[in-house]
Structure 1
Amino acid sequence: MVSVALLSRWHVHADDYAREAKSNPSLSIQRVWDEDPSRGEKWAEELGVRFEKELEAVLQDPGIDAVIVNTPTNLHKEVIMAAVAHKKHVFTEKVLALTTADCEEIYEAVAKAGVKLTVSLPRLTTNYYLYAQHALDQGWIGELTSIRCRLAHNGAVPESGNVNGWLPPHFYNKDQCGGGALIDLGAHPIYLTNRLAGPAKAVTSIFQQSNERNVEESAVVLVEYDSGALGTLETGFLSYGSPFQLEVYGTKGALLIEENEIRLTSRQLDQEGWATPQQLPEALPMPMEQWAESILNGGETTITKEDVCSLTLINEAAARSNAEGRKVSISEVKEVFLNQ
């Protein structure tokens, strides 16, 4: 059994992770800490566990094996590095950190401490992603030429009684979040296309931001990959009814995924036109389940350091591209952290 402390209820997925931990027979929630003590005390009471107002006291407790981090994103590095220094295993909401340099520093500390770190990139465990990867690996798509992924919702659309929409107001705090729609919801299209298309070469982006908020509510990012493929990533907080879409195009086939509908056409298969796969791969265990398993039995999760660091790398390049109104090469961003 792994004894867990929940660190902050700031993120909208904090309650989801608490439910996952409670339902996992290998995990036991023992403590709550929050940078907002009143919020933390309420959460601890709801969960029936003790609240600790001092983070250091939680991390020094030998009875705590691991932590689940849902703090503001700008606190991730500080909190995670402190946890790792006390040899606590870490599960954290994405993104790991706001810069690639910080991600690398965290992973170095994790390796030195010999603990397990998992970042929640859940769509890499889904059956539709696994099918897309299989289609590419089998050659059904041929040479990958372009990929498009869209994920958006209406979380920032004003509704009766709430001018901010259903997202919490702090999701528009640039200092805490590090950005807006792209760094949050857009993370999913980024890490999915990174995994499918491989290393990126350059990024061009456009963010749209209203006068009322300090972060972008919509973003489109064009990624050039080393392979020659192009990626179009779309996200936003102002889209009602927008379905998740993943489109993969190549020299011998195409794959279209929209929510739970999957269609494939390929010159490599004995078929004409579009076909719906009769069977999909079995989904992998969710990230938290993999994390718990890795703590208890060793081994690594399917979510890799490359997945995590490349996610932040694209975010950094996209933010710079939008701010400077130009295409940004990945080598520019890497040069910054290599020289630090």
Structure 2
Amino acid sequence: MSKPLKVAVLGFWHVHARDYARQAQAHPGTELVGVWDDDVELGQAGADEFGVPFSSDLDAVLADVDGVVITTPTSDHRDIMVKAANAGKHIFTEKLLAPTVAEAEEILAAADANGAKVVVSLPRLSHGYTQAVKEIIASGELGQLTYARVRLSHDGAIPRDGGDGWLPQRFFDQKTAIGGALTDLGSHPVYLVQLFLGTTPDTVSATYRSVNGRGLEDNAVVTVGYADQAIGVIEAGFTSRNPFTIEVFGTESSLTYTEAGNVLQVGDRQVPVPEHVPDPFAQWVDHITNGTRADDNLHRAVELTRLVVAANQAADEGRTISYGG
């Protein structure tokens, strides 16, 4: 690459916008050159923090960059991404890719038609423990898989010092956030359970609760059932800070991983956890540089959307639903 890719952050709605702005500044292949937001206050604050210009003119920003980091409200993803893709701009985006599968597919079709490279931030797929769990499952050591459980939570909705908690109230706005703990933080357990057990369960059920009453669920459990009789359990919450946990059980053995101490246990032995592979932002830059498509990432992003939509439907209707129905 002769010179860094010029990148703008579109939207400071999501709490990870700052993380991605830092990555754009730190990666040798990218240069953060600007910020756009339809919320001037949020966008200007983000631009000031990173020392780059702010613009409320999206067309002008798109005309002057190679790629964009999209961290707008989830509800805006389809419109913003299709516009960026039609302008030939590469896209790195926060999950969910879109509120519906149809919108996700429309985004990817626009990107493919215009040569835009898209990567969705699914960071735990690149973590060392995930790579190790994949290898153990593939080895057959666990036997036929019967159960997988992944839990991820933080304390962002717990009231502190007279406030509502550190997670902004906009994360509990149905119109813009689309969903609460499951749709946001729960995306990570969703795509990991899909990785371990498969992307096509037969049934989906969900229980959502709002411990702190901020508008959307802050405590969620989703259960998926598979044709081979395996069960997957997806847990997410904004109401407790527990170590991130993976459990996978099979007919011959089992494994557990806990973030506390970075410990992976298989049967009666502890297995070393390898280093992370390049993260999604670095993968995005590589795909742009090499002219390749992030096929696995995009497939998983669409399937993530599909399962989140189904889980939200199951919770809304208070019943177990047939997957996709």
Q: TM-score, normalised by structure 2?
A: 0.95
Question: C-alpha root-mean-square deviation of aligned residues, in Å?
Answer: 1.4
**How far apart in 2 are the matches of 1:288 and 1:143?**
34
Show CA shifts across 1:107-149 (max 9, x none): 1111111210000000000010111100010111111111001
Q: Deviations over 1:202-221 (max 9, x none)?
A: 10111112573220111111
Query: Residue 315 of structure 2 is aligned with which of 312, 322, 336?
Result: 322
Q: Is the 1:181–1:218 contact (alpha carbons within 8 Å) kept by the matching residues of 2?
A: yes
Distance of aligned partners of 1:212 and 1:25 in 2 relative to their CA distance in 1, 3 Å threshold = same
Provide the C-alpha distance between the structure 1 equivalents of 2:206 and 2:93, rounded to a whole number of angstroms: 27
Q: Does 1:55 align with 2:58?
A: yes
Deviation at 1:297, TM superposition (A): 1.7
Tell me the equivalent position of 2:109. Answer: 108
Is residue 186–residue 234 contact of structure 1 (8 Å, CA) maintained in 2?
yes
Question: Please, what TM-score do these two structures have when normalized by structure 1?
Answer: 0.91
The one-letter amino acid of 2:114's match is A
Quote the residue 1:123 is aligned against: 124
Tell me the equivalent position of 2:20. Answer: 17
Q: Secondary structure at the match of 2:220?
A: strand
Task: Tell me how far apart the structure 2 counterparts of residues 331 and 297 of structure 1 sit (CA, whole Å).
Answer: 35
Partner of 2:68: 67
Corresponding residue for residue 90 of structure 1: 91
Does the Cα contact within 8 Å between 2:7 and 2:66 map onto a contact in 1? yes
CA contact (8 A) 2:157 2:212 kept: no
Where 1:276 maps in the other structure, the secondary structure is strand
Letter in 1 for 2:43: G
The answer to whether the aligner puts 1:148 opposite 2:141 as a matched pair is: no
Judging changes above 3 Å, is the alpha-carbon distance between structure 1 residues 228 and 20 closer, same or farther for their aligned structure 2 residues?
same
Tell me: CA distance 1:235–1:158, structure 2 relative to 1, closer, same or farther (3 Å): same
Cα deviation for residue 299 of structure 1 reads 2.5
Cα distance in 2 for partners of 1:70, 1:168 equals 14
Letter matched to residue 187 of structure 1: S
SS in 2 for 1:242: coil
Q: Following superposition of structure 1 onto structure 2, how do residues 110-259 of structure 1 map, counting pairs within 5 Å?
A: 110-162=111-163, 164-198=164-198, 199-210=200-211, 212-239=213-240, 241-259=241-259
1:11–1:303 distance in 2 versus 1, CA, 3 Å: farther
Please tell me whether the aligned partners of residues 287 and 303 of structure 1 are also in contact (alpha carbons under 8 angstroms).
no
Q: Is 1:286 matched with 2:288?
A: no
CA contact (8 A) 1:146 1:229 kept: yes
Q: Distance in 2 between matches of 1:55 and 1:131?
A: 42
Identity %: 40
- Corresponding residue SS for 2:113: helix
User: Which one of 31, 45, 54 corresponds to residue 48 of structure 2?
Assistant: 45
Unaligned runs of 5+ in 1: 266-273, 333-340
The gaps in structure 2 that reach 5 residues or longer are none
What is the Cα deviation at residue 196 of structure 1?
Answer: 1.2
User: Alpha carbons of 1:303 and 1:121: their partners in 2 closer, same or farther (altered >3 Å)?
Assistant: farther
Task: Indicate the residue corresponding to 1:3 in structure 2.
Answer: 6
Equivalent residue for 1:31, pick from 30, 34, 39: 34
1:275 aligns with 2:264: no
* Map of 1:336 onto structure 2: none
Partner of 1:304: 297
Pair 1:283–1:226, CA change in 2 (3 A):
farther
Q: Which runs of 4+ in 1 moved over 4 A?
A: none
Q: Which amino acid counterpart does residue 221 of structure 2 have in structure 1?
A: V
Local SS of the residue matching 2:6:
strand
Looking at structure 1, the residues matched to 183 and 177 of structure 2 have their Cα atoms a distance apart, in angstroms, of: 8
Q: State the secondary structure of the residue aligned to 1:184.
A: coil
